[in-house]
Amino acid sequence: MSMTITEKIFAVHCGKSQVKPGELVNARLDLIMCHDVTTPPAISMLAEKGLERVFDPEKVVVTPDHFQPPKDIKSAQLHKRLDAWCKKHKIKHYYPIGKAGVCHALLPEQGHIRPGDMIIGGDSHTCTYGSLGAFSTGVGSTDLAAGLATGELWFRVPESMKFVLNGKLPHGVYSKDVMLEIIRIIGTDGARYKAMEFVGPALKDMSAEARMTMTNMAIEAGGKNGIMAVDEVTRAYVDKRIKGNKDYPVYTSDADATYESTYEIDCAKLEPLVAFPHLPSNGKRISEAAGLAMDQAYIGSCTNGRIEDYRIVAAMMKGRKVAIRTLIVPATPTVWRQAMDEGLFDIFYDAGCVISAPTCGACLGGFMGVLADGEKCISSTNRNFVGRMGHPRSEVYLASPATAAASAIEGKLADPRKYLN
């Protein structure tokens, strides 16, 4: 029977020669991601059941990130519990404050993601890792607890959707714009519990980091996971970082595999997009969106807080000033250090930006950039629901880092192409 990449990974991890969409299976897990918000409740559940164990301390990666560093007493307590739990169970891959970063940027960067793996994490954007040829999906604290204790979890095998990315990205258009266009087309529930598989010539021109932006936002279309086949770009990224055994399986979808639906996107016709409140699917071309006044620009997050994002932004801001408060939040300490070493921080400082330690704080409306009543923010994050970044009457506009930078310079939604060489 022909299968897609996602189905092949499921078959291997549940010990079957084949699986079918809709089938309920129990799958072996290769890796579990834990952070400071959803893991403490999982720890409590395990303690209540007398299951204070971890199936394999070397297959768990832990980093505080949502409230990192702690913003108040309650978040400090979460960190204290996480720290004690990691020490008790001798978790090998624990990134405490000082090494902690936004989880979905940190794990690939530090070589924890292997093609062909079955991965869960206590965060909806765990689907990010599919850009490297793995199956990865977010789960709640209950399933997280079950996975930590047993190393297995049940799933319904998802149907697969294929997104063929044709053409070449125009100047000033990035993978974020492509994903916003896809979500605009299919809606926030268009891929509900489905595997979003991305293929096509436009994908080949994207870096490994740019691809992560797309799979990161699969959940914003309701997807169970986002996934891409391993190619030379994937190998170059993974082989330089991967920990342990350098061998890994590579799965490709069979030519006659069955897809629930197929969409073709002509990337050559795209322009920068902005998703207006209060849905990621509410995308508008910058040509029709430009001019709306903003109060804040936020450039960071697990979607777009990587070094290539800041190189683009720095090139645009060099010799210019921002017109609104602008937050630069590198996703990991490595990105932070690299941006500093390359002189990007000097450009951001001279432009009038605020530079933060790695944190998810502002993205989820926790701290470090919370919005007041009526304020508007142009953001490189992934979600713009009501109250997402602060007051219920604030508004979040999603865009690429380049569009966010142009808007920061002008103080209103602006076309980044005028600032790009």
Q: pLDDT by residue (tens digit) across 384-416? A: 999 999 999 999 999 999 999 999 999 999 999
Q: Per the structure, how many domains does the chain have?
A: 2
Question: Are 198 and 212 within 8 A, CB to CB?
Answer: no
State the pTM of this model. 0.95
Query: So what's the pLDDT on residue 388?
Result: 94
Q: Would you say residue 417 has pLDDT above 90?
A: yes
Same domain, 135 and 180: yes
Q: Which of 56-60, 132-136, 353-357, 361-365 shows the lowest mean pLDDT across its residues?
A: 361-365
Question: Are 179 and 214 within 8 A, CB to CB?
Answer: yes
Contacts of 290 (CB under 8 A, 6+ apart): 412, 413, 414, 415
Where among 245, 265, 285 does a domain terminate?
265
Q: Would you say residue 244 has pLDDT above 80?
A: no
CATH code at 364? 3.30.499.10
Percent of the chain with pLDDT over 70: 100
Query: So what's the pLDDT on residue 333?
Result: 97
Residue 293 φ then ψ, to 5°: -65, 140
Residue 102 vs residues 275, 282, 307, 383, 386: alpha-carbon distances, Å: 23, 26, 13, 16, 23
Residue 346 vs residues 195, 248, 351: alpha-carbon distances, Å: 42, 41, 8
Query: So what's the pLDDT on residue 356?
Result: 94
Same domain, 153 and 173: yes
The residue segments making up the domain with residue 389 are 273-419
Query: So what's the pLDDT on residue 337?
Result: 97
Q: Would you say residue 376 has pLDDT above 80?
A: yes
Residue 201 φ then ψ, to 5°: -60, -35
pLDDT digits (tens, 9 = 90+) for 253-263: 999 999 999 99
Same domain, 359 and 410: yes
Helical segments of 283-327, H only = 286-289, 307-317
Same domain, 86 and 188: yes
For the segment 286-290, the average pLDDT, to the nearest whole number, is 96
Query: So what's the pLDDT on residue 355?
Result: 97
Query: So what's the pLDDT on residue 188?
Result: 95
Within 10 angstroms of residue 372's Cβ, the number of other Cβ atoms is: 11
For the segment 130-149, the average pLDDT, to the nearest whole number, is 97
C-alpha angle 182-101-96 in degrees, rounded to nearest 5: 150
Same domain, 291 and 373: yes
Name the strand (E) or helix (H) holding 141.
helix 141-150
Q: Would you say residue 18 has pLDDT above 90?
A: yes
Four-residue CA torsion sign, 149, 159, 284, 266:
positive
Question: Are 219 and 230 within 8 A, CB to CB?
Answer: no
Residue 299 φ then ψ, to 5°: -125, 105
Nearest residue to 261 (alpha-carbon basis) of 203, 320, 187, 315: 187
- Indicate the average pLDDT of the chain: 96
Same domain, 188 and 246: yes
Same domain, 201 and 310: no
Structure tokens at 156: 């319904």
Structure tokens at 80: 């204290």
Query: So what's the pLDDT on residue 246?
Result: 81
Q: Would you say residue 132 has pLDDT above 90?
A: yes
Query: So what's the pLDDT on residue 181?
Result: 98
For the segment 42-67, the average pLDDT, to the nearest whole number, is 93
Same domain, 18 and 155: yes
Query: So what's the pLDDT on residue 52?
Result: 81
HEC assignment per residue over 347-414: HHHHHCCEECCCCCCCCCCCCCCCECCCCEEEECCCCCCCCCCECCCCEEEECCHHHHHHHHHHCECC
Same domain, 200 and 298: no
Where among 230, 265, 300 does a domain terminate?
265
Rounded CA separation 310/307 (Å): 5
